[in-house]
Amino acid sequence: MITKNIELARDILMQDGIVAIPTETVYGLAGNAFSETAVKQIFGLKKRPFFNPLILHIKSMESLHSVVKEIPETALKLASRFWPGALTLVLKKQAHISDLVTSGMDTVAVRVPNHPAALELLAQLDFPLAAPSANPFGSISPTSAQHVHHYFKETLSIILDGGVCEKGIESTIIGFENDEPILYRHGAISIEEIEKVVGKIKIVTENSENPKAPGMLSRHYAPNTETHLVTNISESIKSYKSKKVGVLLFKENSQLQNCLFQEVLSNTGDFEEAARNVYAALHKLDQSDMDIILIEKLPDIGIGKSINDRLIRAVKKE
């Protein structure tokens, strides 16, 4: 059921049930982070391997101390600058945070989401919400209640509708080594924004084997349709003359006017607008019965870099 009823969502969560919730980045599949029953259900619904840890969603900066310890100064600086918002911090966990949530690691990922419905819901609960993105493991993330419904109509009793996600791609993840911040996942807050607060930072995202960023699996956010990422769509499309080709463009391209199925992320070339639209465009293309999807790479700056990160993983072979 798709509903705007926050009290209903609260009641289900208080009984160890699972609710899809809106956030400003993507929809999450939320449950009581302190309940083993709830956390197990999240992994089950998502078909997510247990080695891939979850993010805790807390109601405010004040709640941070109840889930983590040894908070570096730079972490506090980042949290006060970006929370509520699309920044996830990976910090040393308190002993009571379950190994199930953290996949056995001694750190836990935490953020305060910036969405009125999520914040109102959290305010009514006395536990954090563990919530991965509300898509089956490896699939395109959901940015609307309808996307979640498409994936989980058979298995999820309630989806809290908070409209279309304002940011459209997941949070930026920052961890710490010897109190130095490290970027684990590019996301809705650009690295340039982060560096304005903490100076130049190390990036450790690329490698799926890297135990520090276990969720950075090479193939992720993937359509079911065969998909390629290219730098020049007008050229590449010539190789697929006999096929039904859908294209995903950053900006409009007059050379492709004859191409029947195209999604344009931003007419004006605005990165934030492109981020907001990218998953919806992928969902649409994937459901439009094309033989091939061709995606144009964005300029590799600002949020463009984060969008490219997702697109690269969307086309990776298993």
Contact residues for ligand TXA, defined by CB under 6 A: 23, 25-26, 28, 52-55, 88, 90, 102, 105, 107-109, 113, 131-133, 170-171, 173, 175, 184-185, 213-216
Q: How far from chain centre, in Å, is Cα 228?
A: 21
Max CA separation in the chain (angstroms):
60
Report the residue number whose CB is nearest to ligand TXA: 215
Sign of CA dihedral 289, 167, 103, 315: positive
Angle at 89 between CA 216 and CA 47, to 5 degrees: 40
Choose one: 38-46, 119-127, 130-138, 190-198; the region binding Mg ion (CB under 5 A): 130-138
Q: Whole-number minimum distance, CB 222 to ligand TXA, in Å?
A: 13
Q: Per CB under 5 A, does 171 bind Mg ion?
A: no
Closer by beta carbon to ligand TXA, 170 or else 286: 170
Q: Per CB under 5 A, does 133 bind Mg ion?
A: yes
Helix (H, G, I), strand (E, B) or coil at 93: strand
Interaction partner, residue 102 (ligand TXA, Mg ion, none; CB < 5-8 Å by kind): ligand TXA
Question: Which of 117, 160, 113, 164 minimizes the C-alpha distance to 281?
Answer: 164
Residue 98 corresponds to which amino acid?
Answer: S
Interaction partner, residue 23 (Mg ion, ligand TXA, none; CB < 5-8 Å by kind): ligand TXA
Q: Per CB under 5 A, does 88 bind Mg ion?
A: no
Give the side-chain half-sphere CA count within 13 A for 124: 15
CB atoms within 10 A of CB 57: 28
Helix (H, G, I), strand (E, B) or coil at 124: coil
Interaction partner, residue 144 (Mg ion, ligand TXA, none; CB < 5-8 Å by kind): none
Residue 188: C-alpha distances to residues 165, 169, 206, 264, 274 (Å): 11, 6, 17, 19, 11
Report the residue number whose CB is nearest to Mg ion: 133
Q: Whole-number minimum distance, CB 107 to ligand TXA, in Å?
A: 4
Closer by beta carbon to ligand TXA, 52 or else 253: 52
Contact set with Mg ion (CB under 5 A) = 133
